[in-house]
């Protein structure tokens, strides 16, 4: 979930999430939860679902 930030509420900025391997176990799990951020780049990540 990525929420749009307003100019007054921006807390974090210039975030890059790149070239990571992300493991998660719930099919509908949110992989990225960002709030009050500006200039976020998410690219070239590998996401792996592990069913248990």
pLDDT in tens, 5-44: 566 777 888 999 999 998 888 877 778 888 888 899 999 9
Q: Quick one: pLDDT band at residue 1, thresholds 50, 70, 90?
A: low
Cα 14 to Cα 34: distance, rounded to the nearest angstrom = 12
Q: How far is CA 8 from the centre of its chain?
A: 21
Q: Work out the number of other CB atoms within 10 angstroms of the CB of residue 19.
A: 9
Write down the number of H helices and E strands in the chain: 0, 4
pLDDT of residue 7: 65
């Amino acid at each position: 979930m990525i929420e749009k930030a307003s100019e007054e509420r921006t807390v974090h900025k210039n975030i890059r999430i790149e070239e990571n391997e992300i493991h998660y176990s719930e099919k509908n799990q949110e992989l990225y939860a960002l709030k009050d951020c500006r200039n976020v780049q998410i690219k070239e990540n590998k996401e792996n679902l592990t069913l248990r």
